[in-house]
Amino acid sequence: MSRGVFITLEGGEGAGKSTHLRLLAEGLRARGLDVVTTREPGGSPGAEQIRALLVSGEPDRWDKVTEALLLSAARRDHVTRLIEPALARGAWVLCDRFSDSTLAYQGFGHGADPAMIATLTAMATSGLVPDLTLILDLPVEAGLARAAGRGGDDRFERMGTAFHERLRHGFLTIAASEPGRCVVIDAVQPLDSVQAAIRAAVESRWP
């Protein structure tokens, strides 16, 4: 049996990752594919418990290194218990955020040492890299307005405009540094147009 395909969706708050992951999964399942959808932080029982620590409380609850360590612990559990077994059986795994978010949030956003983040990522993933990363990009104010409209209370959404500007710059920098893996999608477009761009990016690699 051939190994599966690992696709991640990345971007700032309110970019629509969860919605577009669900729509992409529906389209792939309609083709008869085995599709697993998941998210970070979270995705496995242990990682979901760590997620609760990360997304709740005041914005300054954790410092940048603690956040990176918690995220890496959650990612290790997620990779070993869910992602790798699914890929091994030939499934397509679609993940809402992965290691690029740690570099963007804790690295570009909070100023954590990129070398430290790279080391933690290597330990957590054992070298697993997405086959394709779709970065949904939109202006910060538009994304935060969308996020506020959801009525949630994620501490990352309350970290201030300057933080989110650095975050957006981080994702675009990551995309520019790895054009073979990353595709930037204009998330300002109507939902149908965004989803069409996502499916075109997928189909260009796996017709």
The Cα–Cα gap between 102 and 64 comes to 10
Provide the number of structural domains found in the chain: 1
CATH number (domain holding residue 116): 3.40.50.300
What is the model's pLDDT at position 51?
96
| pTM (predicted TM-score) | 0.94
Q: Comparing 61-65, 80-84, 157-161, 167-171, which segment has the lowest mean pLDDT? A: 157-161
pLDDT at 158 over 90: no
The Cα–Cα gap between 16 and 149 comes to 12
Strand partners for 132: 7
pLDDT digits (tens, 9 = 90+) for 22-70: 999 999 999 999 999 999 999 999 999 999 999 899 989 999 999 999 9
Q: Which domain holds residue 184?
A: 5-205
Burial class (CB in 10 A: 0-12, 13-18, 19+), 103: buried
Residue among 204, 157, 166 at smallest CA distance from 185: 204
Averaged pLDDT of the chain: 95
